[in-house]
Structure 1
Amino acid sequence: MTGTKITLAHGSGGLAMQQLIKDLFVKYFNNPHLSLMEDQAQLSLASFSNSTDKLAFATDSFVIDPITFNGGDIGKLAVCGTVNDLAVGGAIPKYLSAGFIIEEGLDLATLELIVKSMAQQAERAGVSIVTGDTKVVHKGACDKLFINTSGIGVIPENRCLGVSQVQAGDKVLVNGTLGDHATAILQARGELALSGDISSDCAALNELTELMQVAGKVHAMRDATRGGVAAVCNEISESSQLSICLKETQLPIHQEVRAVSEMLGLDPLLMANEGKLVAFVAAENADAVLAAMQSHPLGKQAACIGEVSDATTPQVVVEGLYGTHRQLQMPVGEQLPRIC
Structure 2
Amino acid sequence: MTAKSLRDTAVTLSHGGGGKAMRDLIEVVFTSVFEPDGMEDQARLTADALAEPGAQLAFTTDSFVVDPVEFPGGDIGKIAVCGTVNDLAVGGAQPLWLSAAFILEEGVEIALVQRVVASMAREAAAAGVRIVTGDTKVVGRGSADKIFVTTSGVGVIPPGRDLAAGHVRPGDVAIVNGVLGDHGATILAARGDMALSSEISSDCQSLNGLMEAVLAAAPHARAARDATRGGLASALNEIAEAAGVGVVLEETAIPMRDEVRGTCEILGLDPLYLANEGTLVVFVPEAEAAAALAAMQATEAGRAACIVGRAVAEHPGRVVMTTLFGGTRIVDMLVGEQLPRIC
Q: TM-score, normalised by structure 2?
A: 0.96
**2:287 is equivalent to residue 284 of structure 1:** yes
Give, in whole Å, the separation in 2 of the partners of 1:155 and 1:253. 32
Give, in whole Å, the separation in 2 of the partners of 1:100 and 1:321. 46
Q: Secondary structure at the match of 1:36?
A: coil
1:273-332 superposed Cα distances (whole Å, 9 cap, x missing partner): 000001011100001100111111111111100010011543100101232000001000
Match of 1:214 among 213, 216, 227: 216
Give, in whole Å, the separation in 1 of the partners of 2:54 and 2:15. 40
Q: Structure 1: where are the runs of 5+ without partners?
A: none
> CA 1:46–1:210 in 2, change beyond 3 Å: closer, same or farther?
closer
Aligned letter for 2:263?
V
Give, in whole Å, the separation in 2 of the partners of 1:132 and 1:279. 32
Q: Secondary structure at the match of 1:95?
A: strand
Residue aligning to 1:14: 19
**Where has structure 1 moved over 4 Å in runs of 4 or more?**
none
1:26–1:35 contact (8 Å) kept in structure 2: no
Residue aligning to 2:3: none
Q: Pairwise mapping of residues 42-57 of structure 1 onto structure 2 (< 5 A)?
A: 42-44=44-46, 48-50=50-52, 53-57=55-59
2:198–2:259 contact (8 Å) kept in structure 1: yes
Shift of 1:271: 0.5
Give, in whole Å, the separation in 1 of the partners of 2:174 and 2:160. 23
**2:60 is equivalent to residue 78 of structure 1:** no
The worse-fitting range, judged by mean Cα deviation, of 21-30 and 242-251 is: 21-30
Residue aligning to 1:173: 175
Q: Pairwise mapping of residues 245-264 of structure 1 onto structure 2 (< 5 A)?
A: 245-264=248-267
State the Cα RMSD in Å: 1.1
Q: Structure 2: where are the runs of 5+ without partners?
A: 1-5
The worse-fitting range, judged by mean Cα deviation, of 231-240 and 138-147 is: 231-240
Q: Secondary structure at the match of 1:35?
A: coil
Residue aligning to 2:317: 314
2:166–2:244 contact (8 Å) kept in structure 1: no
The worse-fitting range, judged by mean Cα deviation, of 153-162 and 311-320 is: 311-320
Q: Pairwise mapping of residues 153-302 of structure 1 onto structure 2 (< 5 A)?
A: 153-216=155-218, 217-302=220-305
Give, in whole Å, the separation in 2 of the partners of 1:278 and 1:287. 15
Residue aligning to 1:23: 28
Give, in whole Å, the separation in 2 of the partners of 1:120 and 1:45. 22
1:244–1:317 contact (8 Å) kept in structure 2: yes
2:11–2:109 contact (8 Å) kept in structure 1: yes
**2:114 is equivalent to residue 109 of structure 1:** no
Give, in whole Å, the separation in 2 of the partners of 1:153 and 1:52. 14
Give, in whole Å, the separation in 2 of the partners of 1:52 and 1:10. 45
1:179–1:273 contact (8 Å) kept in structure 2: yes
Give, in whole Å, the separation in 1 of the partners of 2:166 and 2:337. 28
Shift of 1:52: 5.1
Give, in whole Å, the separation in 2 of the partners of 1:286 and 1:246. 16
Give, in whole Å, the separation in 2 of the partners of 1:45 and 1:248. 44
> CA 1:59–1:279 in 2, change beyond 3 Å: closer, same or farther?
same
Aligned letter for 1:294?
Q
Give, in whole Å, the separation in 2 of the partners of 1:305 and 1:328. 14
Aligned residues: 337
1:245-283 superposed Cα distances (whole Å, 9 cap, x missing partner): 000000000110010011111111111000000101110
Q: Secondary structure at the match of 1:218?
A: coil
Q: Pairwise mapping of residues 30-69 of structure 1 onto structure 2 (< 5 A)?
A: 30=35, 34-44=36-46, 48-50=50-52, 53-69=55-71
2:13–2:106 contact (8 Å) kept in structure 1: yes
Give, in whole Å, the separation in 1 of the partners of 2:86 and 2:172. 22
1:203-243 superposed Cα distances (whole Å, 9 cap, x missing partner): 00000000000011311000000000111111111111100
Aligned letter for 1:79?
V
> CA 1:52–1:99 in 2, change beyond 3 Å: closer, same or farther?
farther
1:18-38 superposed Cα distances (whole Å, 9 cap, x missing partner): 1111111111101xxx23100
Identity rate, percent: 53
1:93–1:153 contact (8 Å) kept in structure 2: yes
